[in-house]
Structure 1
Amino acid sequence: MLYNILVPLSEYLSFLNVFRYITFRTAYAAITALVITLVFGPYVIRKLKEMSFSMKSKGYEPERHKVKEGTPTMGGVMIVGSAAISTLLWADLRNPYIWIVLLLFMGYGLIGFVDDYKKTILKNPNGISPRQKSGGQLFFAVIATFLVLYVDKTGVSTKLAMPFFKNLVINMGYLYCLFAVFIMIGTSNAVNLTDGLDGLAITPSIIAFVTIGFMTYLTGNYKFANYLNIIFVPGAGEVAIFCGAMVGAGLGFLWFNAHPASVFMGDVGSLSIGGALAGVAIIAKHEIALAIVGGIFVMETFSVILQVGYFKMTKGKRLFRMAPIHHHFELAGWSETKITVRFWIISFILALIALSTLKLR
C-alpha cells in the first residue's frame, strides 16, 4: 500500500524513491511484523486464555507433555495477522503473486482455525475429520495453482528446474498442477507434524522463509536470474516482501514460543506457514530447494510414514520409539531444548546447502 501511495509522489519528493526497492520494503516488512507481534502478543495470549483456547492432551504424547496442558494454543493467529498486515502495508498491491500467496496463507490458516476451534472449544481432540481437512487444503491448493498458471505470461509456470544440473529443466505440462497441489498439501501437513515441541517448528520455518525469500528475489530479477542460470519469473521478486513479513512474524512468535512456551501456534499457524512456504517456492520455481531447506519437515513426515508402514508390515513392531521423530529423541532421554536446538542447527546447514544450488549448476 505504501508503495502504491508514495512511489508516484517520488517525482516531487526524491527521497521517496527508496520505496521502489524490494530490499528496503522487505526489511521493513520484517520489522513491522515483528513489532506488531511483540506489541499485541501479550494481549492475544491473555485473550486465548480467557476464551479457553488451550492445549488438551491427546493421551499418547510423552509423559513430560502433560505439564503443557492448559497452555494457550492458536497463537498462529498472531503470525497470520501480523504477516498479512505487514505484507499489505509494504507490498505492491498490483502484483498478482502477492494476492495468490495471501489467499493460500489465509485459506490454510482458516482451515487450521476451524480445526483448533473444534479441538479446544468443542473438546473434540481429533478436530475436523481428515477428509474435511484434506478437502479444504485441496480446494485452496487447486485455486492457487490455477491462478499461478493464469498469471504466468512467459510459459515457465509448468517447468521444474533441477538443482545441481545446469540445463536440466523439465516442462511437466499439466502434470505440474498435480505436483504443485501435492507440494502445498504436503508441506502444510509436514509443518503441522513438526509442531510438537516449543520452538521446534517456527525456527526452521523462519530459516526456510529467509532462504526461499532470497531465492524469490533473485528469480524476479532478470540480471541475477540470467547470471545464476535460474528461471526468471517476472514479478516474483515482490513476494520476497511477504517472506520478510513471515520472518518478522515468526521471530515475534518465537519470543513467546521459546521454551517454556507461553503459547503454541496450533494448526492455524502450522498449516498456514506450510501452505504459504510451498506457494512461494512454486511461484519462484524453487520447489526442489524447498525440499532441501525444509529437510526437517521432510524428515518428520517420513518418520511417521515409515513408522506406520513398518508397524503394519511387522504386525505391531515399531521402527521408532514414537513418531514424529522428535518424540523418539524425547523418549531416548534428550531434553526438549537439546532436540529443538539441534534441529535448528540442521535447518541452518540445510539452508546453506539449498543456497549453494544457486551456483552449483
Structure 2
Amino acid sequence: MLLENMNMAIHAIKANKMRSFLTMLGIIIGIGSVIAIVSIGDTMRFMVSDLYKNVGMTLAYVYVWPADGDGMRESDYFTLDETERMKEVFGDELTYIDSNASVNAEALYGRNKVKYQFEGIYADYSAVHEINIVYGRNLNEADIKGRKNNVVLEANGAKELFGTENAVGKTFRTTIYGSTDDYHVVGIYRLDQSPFEAIMAGRSETRAGYMPDTLLTWPNDTFFGVRVFAREGTDMKVFSDKLSAYLAKTKNRNKEDIAFSSAASEMGTVDAVMGGLSAAVGGIAAISLLVGGIGIMNIMLVSVTERTREIGIRKALGAKTRDIMIQFLTESAILSALGGILGVLTGAGLVMAGGLLFGIGVVIKPAVILVAVGFSALVGLFFGIYPAQKAAKADPIDALRYE
C-alpha cells in the first residue's frame, strides 16, 4: 500500500514538474541555508580549535592583579630566580616558563629597514612550540645564559631585510630599550600558516623573530607576568588552582589576586560563543522552512481541487477515508523530502565550493544532513494534513459531479 501511494505521489509530481519545483523552492532555500550556516559555523569552530591546538592547549599566562584595586607592589613582579624556583617546585608538571617579553624594533641593513616584533624565548621553547628551522640553528643555552645578541628570523622578513632567505651569518643593527647594537642571525625559520591563520593574522608590515629572553629582561631581570606551558594532558583548571595557590603564598597575596588565563579556557569561551551564534543564525534561517511549508499546503489544496473527480472515483470504488488521507500525506511528504535533499545538495555544495575557493577544509556533519532531510519531511507532513483531510472528507457523490 505504501509503495503504491509513493508511486502515485511521484506520478503526480512528475505530471506538474514546474509547479512541483516552485513548491519545493521554499524548502530548498530553507534547508540549504540551514546546512550552509551550520556547516560554516562548525568549520569555523574546527579551525579555531585547530588554531589553539597549534598555539598549545596547555599554554597559560600568569600575573598578579590585585582584586581590591590596590596598586602593584614591587614584590608582585616576577624575577628570573622565581621562575627557576617554580621549575623546581612543579617539576615535570611545568614544561616551559619564560617572561613573555617581546619588543617592537626596526632592523637596519644597508638602506633596508624592516619592522620586527622580537619575542624573547629560552632554548627549550621549541619543545612546546614548533619552530620550523630551514637555515642555521635555533637559539641554544649558551645564547640565553650569555645574553648574546643572536636572533632567529622568519624567512619572509629575512628576505625583505637582506634580499635573501638564507641570511645566516649576517648582521643588522637595531635599537632595543634605547640601546643600539649589532645583532647576528643564527637561524631562519619558516612560518607555516593555514589559510585561516593567515586571515586571522591579517596583512601586517611587522615581521617576526626570536631572541634570548634574557636580553629583554635586562637590566633588572624583573617582569610583569610569566608564560607557562603545562605538561600535555594536564587539567588546566586543576593546574590553575595549584599554581595560583603557590603564587599567592610566595607573593603574600590572596588567591583571587592571581590572574590566570589559559588557551583552553579561551578556546572554550570562543567555541561557546561561535556555537551559540551558529545555532541562532541557523534557527533564523529555519524560519524560511515555514514559508516553504505554507507553499506546500497551498499547492496541495490546489491539487485536491484539481483531482476532486479522481477522489470521488476512488471513494466510489471502495477507497476508505484513511486511504485518501494517506495518499495526499505521502505526496506532501515526498514533495518536501525531495526539496530537503535538493536543499542539502545546494547548501553543502556552496560550502564545499567556498572551502575550495579559500583553500579551507570544511566540516559537514552527516547528523545535520539527516536531521535536515527528516525535518523537511515532517514539515511536508504537518502542512499536508489540512489538504489531506479536506480530500479525505470529500463526499463521493459531490466529487463525481465536480467539473
Shared fold per TM-score greater than 0.5: no
Higher Cα Rg, which structure? 2
Question: TM-score normalised by the shorter chain: which range applies?
Answer: under 0.3
Give TM-score scaled by structure 2 length: 0.20
| TM-score (normalised: structure 1) | 0.22
Give the helix-richer structure, 1 or 2: 1
